[in-house]
């Protein structure tokens, strides 16, 4: 009797276990497909390594934006010809997914033009834009919309905006559009292509489908010189315009001068730029949280200055900033991600992967 009961019980138990396994099966079916973002805000702190972030954190006003991200990764920044990248190769890799030589803008190691992310995005009818604190023709923004063999050709880079793969560019660099060696007035030419141009009144022009605002002859003022909330206002204006006119968009925002503070070995300059950047990231995150369809990525092209934060013997509550170099260093840089697809950015990988992660998420693979 007991054995019959036992057998029955065993049978019931195995049926129960079996059904549990069947019911539970989806759990073992592998990771879910990532959600496709409708907008991407890609923020680059030029020269922003972990020591720059750590050094500036204590002085952040408002929230520490970096603590708000859900997924963190580390990017290996070497270029094709140098263990230490420059900003040309360091941004071209985000645009074409290939490591290239230092100084290259949107071209591969052989100097050959490669279709960039903005061109791919335009074929998918996405809006594209760059907002920077350097000239709009500087290496980092240029790598997204231009293809030239040297970052120094800023006149030639400015002409690339006529190609129409970049819908919006806000920063400095007026002198590369007017007062050129070839005497061309690029503003006139761009205006004919449908761009709204402004050189000092960008806040007055809220609504335009295509925008080029160059608000300084070359780079924008530094924060210490009183740039104010320019980067925040320009980013908001860009997001609003791209959203309204294109719906889906990719906006690259660069805190260009974190790098310049590093080259100068000027800790206070660097910090002021990063404190400003933190505020911009916070604002972008606030919008992304409300929106639910925006992927926010914050990273760097490389670290600048070989900055280390040492004990300050005079004041134990402050760091002693120590620079090992006035150039770039080869240390890995962090990648912070929030929003649909953010989980793809966790891990340790080559900087080329950032491009492939974006292209895969947006299903632009067919156009690789």
- Rounded Cα distance between 252 and 307, Å, is 25
Centroid of chain to Cα 324 = 26
CB of 145 to Zn ion, least distance (A): 20
Given Mg ion, Zn ion, none, residue 140, with its beta carbon under 5 to 8 Å by kind, binds Mg ion
CB of 151 to Zn ion, least distance (A): 11
CB of 92 to Mg ion, least distance (A): 12
Window 337-366: residues binding Zn ion (CB under 5 A):
none
Nearer to Zn ion, 241 or 351 (CB): 351
- Rounded Cα distance between 232 and 255, Å, is 11
CB of 249 to Mg ion, least distance (A): 21
Nearest 5°: the CA angle 278, 284, 290 is 135
CB atoms within 10 A of CB 355: 19
CB atoms within 10 A of CB 39: 24
Given Mg ion, Zn ion, none, residue 241, with its beta carbon under 5 to 8 Å by kind, binds none
- Rounded Cα distance between 133 and 268, Å, is 17
DSSP 252: E
Q: Which stretch binds Zn ion (CB under 5 A): 30-38, 144-152, 199-207, 257-265?
A: 257-265
Burial state string for 307-339 with b = 16 or more CB within 10 A and e = fewer than 16: bebeeeeeeeeebebebeeeebbbbbbbbbbbb
CB of 189 to Zn ion, least distance (A): 30
- Rounded Cα distance between 348 and 365, Å, is 22
Nearest 5°: the CA angle 134, 65, 364 is 70
Q: Which stretch binds Zn ion (CB under 5 A): 239-247, 252-260, 276-284, 340-348?
A: 252-260
Residue with nearest beta carbon to Mg ion: 140
Q: Which stretch binds Zn ion (CB under 5 A): 9-17, 139-147, 253-261, 349-357?
A: 253-261
CB of 157 to Mg ion, least distance (A): 13
Interface residue with Zn ion, options 156, 167, 243, 259 (CB under 5 A): 259
Nearer to Zn ion, 89 or 208 (CB): 89
Asked if 273 is part of the footprint of Zn ion (rule: CB under 5 A), the reply reads: no
Given Mg ion, Zn ion, none, residue 256, with its beta carbon under 5 to 8 Å by kind, binds Mg ion
Residues of the shown chain interacting with Mg ion in the complex, contacts defined by CB under 5 A:
46, 87, 140, 256
Interacting residues toward Zn ion by CB under 5 A:
259
């Amino acid at each position: 009797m007991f054995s019959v009961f036992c057998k029955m019980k065993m049978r019931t138990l195995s049926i129960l276990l079996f059904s549990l396994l069947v019911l539970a099966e989806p759990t073992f079916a592998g990771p879910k497909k990532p959600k496709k973002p409708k907008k991407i805000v890609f923020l680059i702190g030029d020269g922003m390594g972990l020591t720059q972030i750590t050094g500036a954190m204590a002085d952040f006003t408002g929230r520490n934006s970096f603590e708000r991200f859900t997924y963190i990764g580390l990017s290996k920044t070497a270029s094709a010809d140098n263990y230490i990248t420059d900003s040309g190769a360091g941004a071209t890799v985000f645009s074409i997914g290939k490591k290239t030589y230092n100084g290259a803008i949107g071209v591969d190691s052989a100097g050959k033009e490669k279709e960039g992310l903005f061109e791919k995005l335009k074929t998918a009818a996405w809006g594209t834009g760059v907002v920077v604190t350097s000239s709009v023709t500087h290496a980092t923004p240029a790598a997204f919309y231009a293809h030239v063999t040297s970052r120094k050709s800023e006149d030639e880079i400015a002409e690339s905006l006529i190609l129409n793969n970049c819908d919006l560019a806000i920063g400095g660099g007026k002198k590369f559009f007017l007062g050129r060696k070839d005497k061309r007035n690029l503003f006139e030419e761009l205006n004919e292509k449908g761009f709204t141009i402004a050189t000092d009144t960008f806040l007055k022009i809220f609504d335009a489908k295509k925008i080029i605002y160059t608000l300084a002859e070359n780079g924008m003022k530094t924060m210490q010189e009183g740039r104010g909330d320019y980067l925040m206002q320009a980013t908001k204006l860009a997001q609003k315009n791209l959203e309204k006119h294109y719906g889906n968009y990719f906006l690259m925002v660069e805190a260009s001068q974190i790098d310049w503070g590093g080259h100068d070995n000027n800790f206070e300059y660097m910090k002021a730029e990063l404190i400003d950047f933190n505020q911009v990231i916070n604002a972008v995150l606030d919008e992304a949280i409300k929106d639910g369809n925006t992927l926010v990525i914050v990273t760097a092209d490389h670290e600048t200055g070989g900055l280390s934060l040492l004990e300050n013997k005079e004041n134990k509550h402050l760091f002693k900033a120590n620079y090992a170099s006035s150039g770039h260093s080869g240390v890995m840089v962090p990648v912070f991600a929030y929003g649909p697809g953010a989980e793809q950015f966790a891990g340790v990988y080559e900087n080329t992967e950032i491009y492939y992660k974006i292209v895969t998420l947006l299903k632009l693979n067919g156009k690789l």
